[in-house]
Amino acid sequence: MLRSPTTWFLVGQRLGIAFITLIIVSFAVFFATELLPGDVAQILLGQAATPEAVAGLREAMGLDEPAIQRFIGWLTGLAQGEMGRSYVNNIDVADLLGGRLQNSLRLAGIVTVICVPVALSLGILAAMFRGSWMDRVVSTATISVISVPEFMVATLSVLIFAVWLDWLPALSYGVDVDSLGAMLRAYAMPVITLSFVVSAQMIRMTRAAVIETIETPYVEMALLKGASRTRMVLVHALPNALGPIANAVALSLSYLVGGVIIVETVFNYPGVAKLMVDAVATRDLPLIQSCAMIFCVSYLSLTTLADMIAILSNPRLRQ
Amino acid sequence: MMTDTPLVSVRDLRIGAITDSGRKVEIIRGVDFDIVPGEILALIGESGSGKTTIALSLMGHTRRGCAIEGGTIRVGKHDVTGMTEKQRARLRGTEVSYVPQSAAAAFNPSKRIMDQVVETTRIHDLMPRARAEAHARDLFRALALPDPDTIGERYPHQVSGGQLQRLSAAMALIASPELVIFDEPTTALDVTTQIEVLRAFRRVMQESGMAGVYVSHDLAVVAQIADRIIVLKGGETQEQGTTEQILNNPRHPYTKELLAAFDPVPHVPLAGRDDSADTPVLEVRDLCAGYGAVKDGEPAAKVLDSIEFRLMRGRNLGVIGESGSGKSTLARAVAGILPAYRGSVLFDGQTLAPDLAQRSKEDLRRAQIVFQLADTALNPAHSIANILARPLRFYKGLHGAACEREVIRLLDLVHLPATLRHRLPSELSGGQKQRVNLARALAADPELILCDEITSALDTVVAAAILDLLKELQGELGLSYMFISHDLSTVEAICDDVLVMYKGKVVEAMPATRMSQDATHPYSRLLISSVPQLDTGWLAGLEQDPELLAAFSER
């Protein structure tokens, strides 16, 4: 399908806004971590350190330079893929993060692959058969899942599946993942817990978006042409609900990268969120900043992608 | 014709609805009628009369919350009432088809027009796609659409409203149904566009010999196209007869009332006021206004172009024109909501600041504006008393008992009972809401009221009552009105002078009473001749210069 120049202008504009947001967020991240209490040099050297030693370390670490100068240095480093070195164990932040990020993305990927199709189908079906028993069951179930905090779901599933039934390992990591079966078992509980939380929101938003378009005159017109319910929804309503659905999916998925700290903690899953909490405990500023930037980038790219889908699916911008 | 077996017969049709509060009401109460093949039957009534509900029930469709509760509907050899939803779906589009009120909303914005026009043949697998498209192009030609070979490739937002309405007729006719339902198909169109669309519908229906149901609130439009008319009110048939009989020899008082609303009520100017030596209450000189970013003192989209007029005290000025002519923008510029970038507005000889924010409270008080839709102009969360008390506090500093007395007086002025002040706007009828809207303007004790299409959203009988009220108020309070409307007969009924606007310019100014004889500008003539008349032969006998039409109407 052809797109008009306006469409590409809007897409470019959206990308530009995303970039500016990223700069502003990096600024906020850097200076927010600056405000964290405690002095890194002091913490590293312990209570017994002499003031001269602390001052010397501060100088060696470049901490006595003006904040703005360090910010610019940090930002240019980030742009070149240089995330700095961890204060605590003097390893490259990139190395620390690498494995963790992979873990997080793997978990997020599995949840996405399972959730998005299930949630979209359930949402669309509930909208198609609005008021039926199926719709009521789905609506009630999603409301209940949203209302139960995820640590409850996580703890209960550990209690049931790991402790009482002894079907699944309580911890996801450290288990030998040598076969497909073992891997499925290792990931089952975190995936189930996350899927519950993430898909409930998607189902509700999808249902609402589809119902809104089902009530438009052009869908009624399709009905009066003799179209089946399936055709009305899939051919006429759904293409016009793409924008809001994409946004709902993006918002839910963005939670998978940064917001999974509870699930990672309960199942002792070594992802980025857990790494960040550890970094806060040790005042490891470069690590905290890098983790925050990763969350920010993933969130921004998801919402930007959703906005671009909304722009591209807008028929008024077609030629 | 009467000896033919009817194509459609409806007996004792009853349709129930569940209101928002969960109450069950019967909205169609025992309606009977027949339609013979090739006949066009009109369902006439005001909003809430059930005309669209009846028409949709012929396709076995009821809107959400409604259900067919009794009676029989037979179309061809099918008993629609006894069919399952699947069987009804097979009937829709193939034997009975539908032309919607607003084609702009009934076309899916994300699909090409051709895909939607031939969709019926795809759903029911009636013919190969290539043949369906060829047939569609023939229909486009028959409906006098421009570029019939390529218009189907466009998206709905790329064609005009009048074209979309004709395209929706092609969509309904594609499977050669036996019965076509037209649901107010020209109501949303400008009069000059309406003519073209009506002509196209009439020709296609005559040539194809299909039967039709034409739903409308406008007797004059129906007179041009229908063979028989059913007059509906509150879900019941009031009168049924041939078009000639209903127009010339109505029996039911309600039909007479509907017809009476068409009689021109010539406006009688207030005596002894017309003294041209007086300062005009409103004078507009070289007024230019527009929207968008202002660059070098001029906005990006210029709408009004050097408007000039004078409105004498106690007289009424009508502003007529079609959508996009700039008539509402003129009201906004005069009121200062949209500051003019050039020219001046003089009130009682004194120049007003272009921007509302710079005008004094006294200037604001003397000129009030009343908007078209009382629904959006009245705050739904405030009681009527609250809505009316606000201007009383603002302009006159009234509080407590004095304010309450004044609210009651205002309600009395617009003929509403004082008890109504405790209600919310949502608990009022459309006519009552418009009266409250007017009362709020009167609260400021104005000298001039700008009325922006205030009767357009109302049913004819209700609108006529509002016009009577305006005249009465004028006599009592010595008001002047600037009355904006697309409806010429309304303007004729209340105005002394008329401005005809076209594309942001005043093309002609003349006395309202002599509008039909004296208009000289080709556009005014076109506009005046396009207003449907209560005469079955009007459309057939209407001769308009096609070049003129092409030049001025959006075809």
Residue-wise pLDDT tens digits, B32-47: 999 999 899 999 988 8
B119 touches chain A (CB under 8 A): yes
Q: With beta carbons less than 8 A apart as the criterion, state whether B491 and B531 touch.
A: no
Would the pLDDT of A295 be above 90?
no
- What pLDDT is recorded for position B386? 93
pLDDT tens digits, B511-554: 888 888 888 888 888 888 888 888 888 888 887 777 777 677 65
Q: Which of A198, A296, A302, A203 lies closest to A245 in space, CA to CA?
A: A203
In B86-123, which positions are buried (b, 16+ CB within 10 angstroms) versus exposed (e)? Answer: eebbebbbbbbbbbbbbbbbbbbbbbbbbebbbbbbbb
* Contact across the interface for B105 and A217, Cβ inside 8 Å: yes
Q: Which of A217, A313, A318 comes nearest B106 by C-beta?
A: A217
B109 touches chain A (CB under 8 A): yes
Mutate to test the interface with A, among B61, B78, B108, B117 (most CBs of A within 10 A): B108
Mutate to test the interface with B, among A221, A235, A238, A312 (most CBs of B within 10 A): A221
* Contact across the interface for A231 and B123, Cβ inside 8 Å: yes
* Contact across the interface for A226 and B110, Cβ inside 8 Å: no
In angstroms, the CA B163 to CA B554 distance is 9
User: Which residue of chain B has the CA closest to A312?
Assistant: B110
B83 touches chain A (CB under 8 A): no
Chain A environment of B91 (Cβ under 8 Å): 226
Scanning A239-258 for CB atoms below 8 A from B yields 239-240
Q: Which of B474, B380, B486, B477 lies closest to B433 in space, CA to CA?
A: B380
How close is the nearest chain A Cα to the Cα of B479, in Å? 42
Using only C-alpha atoms, what is the Rg of chain B? Answer: 25
Pick B202 or A168 by higher pLDDT: B202
Would the pLDDT of A111 be above 80?
yes
Would the pLDDT of B410 be above 70?
yes
A18 touches chain B (CB under 8 A): no
For every residue of B292-305, DSSP letters joined together read EEEETTEEEEEEEE
Q: CB contacts < 8 Å between A and B, how many?
A: 71
* Contact across the interface for A221 and B98, Cβ inside 8 Å: yes
Long-range contacts of A22-27, Cβ-Cβ distance < 8 Å, separation of 24 or more:
A22/A296, A22/A297, A22/A300, A25/A293, A25/A296, A25/A300, A26/A75, A26/A78, A26/A293, A26/A296, A27/A71
Mutate to test the interface with B, among A7, A216, A219, A224 (most CBs of B within 10 A): A224
- What pLDDT is recorded for position B345? 92
Mean pLDDT across A73-96: 80
Chain A environment of B110 (Cβ under 8 Å): 239-240, 313, 315
For residue B109, give Cα distances in angstroms to A6, A125, A146, B122: 17, 23, 34, 19
Would the pLDDT of B272 be above 60?
no
Task: Work out the mean pLDDT of chain A and round it to a whole number.
Answer: 83
| pLDDT band with cut points at 50, 70 and 90 for residue B417 | very high
Would the pLDDT of B23 be above 60?
yes
- What pLDDT is recorded for position B1? 45
* Contact across the interface for B110 and A315, Cβ inside 8 Å: yes
Would the pLDDT of B435 be above 90?
yes
| pLDDT band with cut points at 50, 70 and 90 for residue A98 | confident
pLDDT tens digits, B379-405: 999 999 999 999 999 999 988 899 999
Q: With beta carbons less than 8 A apart as the criterion, state whether B230 and B28 touch.
A: no
Q: Which of B92, B105, B120 comes nearest A218 by C-beta?
A: B105
Pick B111 or A40 by higher pLDDT: B111
* Contact across the interface for A316 and B109, Cβ inside 8 Å: yes
How close is the nearest chain B Cα to the Cα of A319, in Å? 8
A4 touches chain B (CB under 8 A): no
How close is the nearest chain A Cα to the Cα of B123, in Å? 6
Pick B188 or B72 by higher pLDDT: B72
How close is the nearest chain B Cα to the Cα of A58, in Å? 54
Q: Which of B320, B257, B283, B270 lies closest to B492 in space, CA to CA?
A: B320
Would the pLDDT of B2 be above 60?
no
- The region of weakest confidence among A251-265, B65-79, B336-350, B366-380 is A251-265
* Contact across the interface for B98 and A313, Cβ inside 8 Å: no
Pick B489 or A40 by higher pLDDT: B489
Chain B environment of A218 (Cβ under 8 Å): 105-109
- What pLDDT is recorded for position B172? 92
In angstroms, the CA B194 to CA B531 distance is 9
User: Which residue of chain A has the CA closest to B124?
Assistant: A226
How close is the nearest chain A Cα to the Cα of B120, in Å? 5
Q: What angle do CA A276, A281, A282 make, to 5 degrees?
A: 95
How close is the nearest chain B Cα to the Cα of A315, in Å? 5
| β-sheet with B480-485: strand ranges across | B367-370, B448-452, B480-485, B316-320, B497-502, B505-511
In angstroms, the CA A184 to CA A168 distance is 9
- What pLDDT is recorded for position A172? 66
For the whole model, what pTM was predicted? 0.80
Interface TM-score (ipTM) > 0.85: no
A131 touches chain B (CB under 8 A): no
The residues near A44 (Cβ < 8 Å, ≥ 6 apart) are A57, A87, A88
How close is the nearest chain B Cα to the Cα of A303, in Å? 23
Q: What percent of chain B has pLDDT over 70?
A: 96
A167 touches chain B (CB under 8 A): no
Q: Which of B159, B146, B147, B91 lies closest to B120 in space, CA to CA?
A: B91
* Contact across the interface for B100 and A217, Cβ inside 8 Å: yes
Q: With beta carbons less than 8 A apart as the criterion, state whether A171 and A218 touch.
A: no
Mean pLDDT across B87-98: 92
Q: Which of A220, A222, A240 comes nearest B109 by C-beta?
A: A240
In angstroms, the CA B369 to CA A239 distance is 42
Q: Which of B110, B111, B119 comes nearest A225 by C-beta?
A: B119
A165 secondary structure, DSSP code = S
User: Which residue of chain A has the CA closest to B91?
Assistant: A226
Q: Which of A217, A222, A239 comes nearest B110 by C-beta?
A: A239
* Contact across the interface for B107 and A218, Cβ inside 8 Å: yes
Q: For residue B295, give both structure tokens.
A: 């660059």
In angstroms, the CA B331 to CA B350 distance is 18
Q: Is the dihedral of CA B72, B76, B79, B80 positive or negative?
A: negative
How close is the nearest chain B Cα to the Cα of A238, in Å? 10
Terminal C-alpha separation, chain B: 36
| pLDDT band with cut points at 50, 70 and 90 for residue A1 | low
Q: Which of B56, B468, B361 lies closest to A217 in space, CA to CA?
A: B56
* Contact across the interface for B171 and A225, Cβ inside 8 Å: yes
How close is the nearest chain B Cα to the Cα of A221, in Å? 6
- What pLDDT is recorded for position B287? 92
Q: Which of A218, A224, A239 comes nearest B92 by C-beta?
A: A224
Q: Which of A224, A226, A316 comes nearest B157 by C-beta?
A: A316
* Contact across the interface for B108 and A240, Cβ inside 8 Å: yes
Q: Is the dihedral of CA A253, A257, A260, A266 positive or negative?
A: positive
Is residue B211 within a helix (H) or strand (E), and if so which, with residue range? strand B211-216
Chain A environment of B97 (Cβ under 8 Å): 224-225
Q: What percent of chain B has pLDDT over 90?
A: 46
B265 touches chain A (CB under 8 A): no
For every residue of A250-318, DSSP letters joined together read HHHHHHHHHS-HHHHHHTT---HHHHHHHHHHTT-HHHHHHHHHHHHHHHHHHHHHHHHHHHHT-GGGB
Q: Which amino acid is at A4?
A: S
In angstroms, the CA A298 to CA A231 distance is 35
- What pLDDT is recorded for position A271? 83
pLDDT tens digits, B208-232: 889 999 999 888 899 999 999 999 9
- What pLDDT is recorded for position B533? 85
Pick B518 or A210 by higher pLDDT: A210
- What pLDDT is recorded for position B197? 85
Task: Work out the mean pLDDT of chain B and round it to a whole number.
Answer: 88
In angstroms, the CA B265 to CA B269 distance is 12
pLDDT tens digits, A49-58: 788 887 887 7
- What pLDDT is recorded for position A127? 92
B154 touches chain A (CB under 8 A): no
- What pLDDT is recorded for position B555? 44
Chain B environment of A127 (Cβ under 8 Å): none
Mean pLDDT across A77-99: 80
How close is the nearest chain A Cα to the Cα of B249, in Å? 36
Would the pLDDT of A152 be above 90?
no
Chain A environment of B111 (Cβ under 8 Å): 236, 239, 315
Range with the largest mean pLDDT of A50-64, A224-238, A258-272, B528-542 = A224-238
Chain A environment of B102 (Cβ under 8 Å): 217
- What pLDDT is recorded for position A274? 83
Would the pLDDT of B285 be above 70?
yes
Would you mind telling me the total number of residues written for chain A in this entry?
319
